[in-house]
Amino acid sequence: MFLFENGAVEFIWPWCALFLLLPVVVRLLPPREHSVQALRVPFFQRIAALPQTGLTAAKHTKSLIAVGLVWSLIVLAAMRPQWVGDPVELPVSGRSVMLAVDLSGSMKEKDLELSGEAVSRLAVVKAVLRPFIERRKGDRLGLILFGDQAYLQTPLTFDRKTLWQMLEEAELGLAGQRTAIGNAIGLAVKRMKDLPDREKVMVLLTDGQNTAGEVSPEDAGRMAKETGLRIHTIGVGADEAWVRSYFGKQKINPSAELDEAMLEELASLTGGSYFRARSTEELEKIYALIDKIEPVEKEKEVYRPRQALFVWPLGFVVLTLGLWFVVLMLRN
């Protein structure tokens, strides 16, 4: 194998290189003994004195070089050279993970911190989901955004970069102000019902309770169980926050509307787990834990593109022999 910057050249039948020595072996073989009938010619001296019209030493050397080059190219083609490109990672068929993110009005609550600064819940979710998405190599990922209704923002895909961009472009209120959790689960069931049971997972994140939609979370959970969709639910939002009022600062619970009982029931019914994220750090740990619960089981598959090269030396041989034949025809 010969290595280059963008790939390598290797031979399928390298043993054919031994044929390069065949002309030398034939040359070294002893001549066959055979009888020659001598003819006595009285004018032999005059025949010997005639000018020689055979090949000169220089022409003979050039002919040997040309024949040797043609033979070398034939052997090179027989060795089946091929160009092997750099390894290309192929997507593998691992789990199908549908991410469902709440975009209702309550996700604008700034009760979580990111890098020491109070930011909205949605901003924290985006920041934490990015590394999670990058880690899920080999999985197909999809994205559902839900508010008053549920919308399939990104179908299941191996393109993690596009999915992240679609999540990054999501804005509060894009899907309405209320929360249709049942519709989000129903949409995931519809998109994933034909996939193998052990390979389909939904990770649903919300900060409230079901206040909209045509399908109740209980009915949607039963449909998910029947189709083998495993749901991990995450309740996000701090338990305590201080707000200013006419009576000074007061401590409130900004997650009072979070329906933890419903989220726990959904997870339990479908074989998933319920997690509570009261801070950015807890949310990061939750997604890391989901990585362990739903590991990427299959190893990467690598493909190296190959291109046959034997046609080049073989084509040069055919072209050379063709030109030589044409020259002989013109001389005659």
DSSP string, 61-86: HHHHHHHHHHHHHHHHHHT-EEEEE-
Query: pLDDT digits over 9-34, tens only?
Result: 888 888 988 988 888 787 787 776 65
Residue-level pLDDT at 49: 60
d(CA 121, CA 238): 9
**What pTM value is reported for the model?**
0.62
What are φ and ψ of residue 311, in 5° steps? -65, -25
**What mean pLDDT is predicted for residues 312-326?**
86
**What's residue 9's pLDDT?**
86
Average pLDDT, the chain: 83
C-alpha–C-alpha distance, residues 133 and 239, integer Å:
27
Buried/exposed code over 46-61 (b: 16+ C-beta within 10 A; e: otherwise): eeeeeeeeeeeeeeee
Query: How does pLDDT run across 195-244, given as a tens digit for each residue?
Result: 877 789 999 999 888 998 899 999 999 999 999 999 999 999 888 665 56
DSSP 8-state class, residue 297: -
pLDDT tens-digit series, residues 110-162: 888 888 888 999 999 999 999 999 988 878 999 999 999 999 999 999 899 99
Task: Tell me what the mean pLDDT of segment 49-61 comes to.
Answer: 61
Task: Give how far the C-alpha of residue 304 lies from the chain's centroid of Cα atoms, to the nearest Å.
Answer: 12
Separation of alpha carbons 102 and 237, rounded Å: 12
Q: State pLDDT tens for residues 165-184.
A: 999 999 887 777 889 999 99
The answer to whether residue 46 scores a pLDDT higher than 90 is no
- pLDDT score at 165: 93
- CATH homologous superfamily of domain 91-293? von Willebrand factor, type A domain (3.40.50.410)
What residues does CATH 3.40.50.410 cover in the chain? 91-293
Structure tokens at 180: 């249709």
| pLDDT score, position 176 | 76
Cα-to-chain-centroid distance, residue 107: 34
pLDDT band at 2; cut points 50, 70, 90:
low
Burial call 266-275: b when 16+ CB within 10 Å, e when fewer: bbeebebbbb
Residues 81-96 have a mean pLDDT of 74
State residue 328's pLDDT score. Answer: 77
pLDDT at 88: 72
pLDDT tens digits along 272-311: 999 999 989 999 999 999 988 887 655 566 777 888 888 8
**pLDDT at position 167, please?**
93
Question: CA–CA separation, 158 vs 139, rounded Å?
Answer: 6
